[in-house]
Amino acid sequence: MNNCRSFKPSIDSNSKVLILGSMPGVKSLEEQQYYAHPQNRFWKVMGVICHEQNLSAFHYDKKLETLLKNKIALWDTIKSCKREGSLDSDIQNETPNDIRKLLKNYPNIKTICLNGNKSYSAFRKYFSDLLTEYDCHKMPSTSPANARYTLEKLSGEWRSVVIKALVLE
């Protein structure tokens, strides 16, 4: 089993939507970049939301900057765990990130999008009270393991939630 540690959040005082993954996969941990696996559709979906069709081809810092410019923050529900490989189902001995502290420090966040089942189940386990305090959404995973969702369907579901949250603020 490998010891895995999440990254620092990508957030600023203008952020209104917080997207929480579970734990970065092997490729992301190697690259020290969120959603670094080329088959993960996260950056393509965010490109649709942010009206940047080539977002997935941008330099990593520019990708994060684009999200922040669009008031979207990024972090993980899990701070550390043991896991062999990249599958969320293999996560063991998890410790959550201090999401309560993050939300206290960034009060403009009103909407939380949980990227996939593991992110949602960990959030529900450690922060169930926040499910009613915030506008929380269990989102379909952008992982290549979620093959039943086409990019179009995935983008549509994500777009409807994120754009609505940004428009209502």
State the catalytic residues.
40
Q: pLDDT at position 101, please? A: 98
Q: pLDDT at position 30, please? A: 85
Q: pLDDT at position 88, please? A: 64
In tens, the pLDDT along 83-97 reads 776 766 666 789 999
Statement: residue 169 has pLDDT above 60: no
The DSSP code for 21 is: E
* pLDDT confidence band for 168 (50 / 70 / 90): low
CB 26 within 8 A of CB 40: no
CB 18 within 8 A of CB 108: no
Q: pLDDT at position 93, please? A: 86
* pLDDT confidence band for 68 (50 / 70 / 90): very high
φ and ψ at residue 69, rounded to 5 degrees: -60, -30
CB 142 within 8 A of CB 35: yes
Q: What does the alpha-carbon distance between residue 82 and residue 17 come to, in Å, rounded to a whole number?
A: 28
Closest alpha carbon to 121 in 17, 20, 15: 20
In tens, the pLDDT along 2-39 reads 888 889 999 999 999 999 998 888 788 889 999 998 88
In tens, the pLDDT along 115-149 reads 999 999 999 999 999 999 999 999 999 987 787 88
Q: What does the alpha-carbon distance between residue 119 and residue 103 come to, in Å, rounded to a whole number?
A: 17
Q: pLDDT at position 38, please? A: 87
Name all domains of the chain by residue range, CATH numbers in brackets. 2-168 (3.40.470.10)
In tens, the pLDDT along 142-160 reads 987 787 888 899 999 999 9
φ and ψ at residue 13, rounded to 5 degrees: -65, -15
Q: pLDDT at position 108, please? A: 96
Q: pLDDT at position 89, please? A: 66
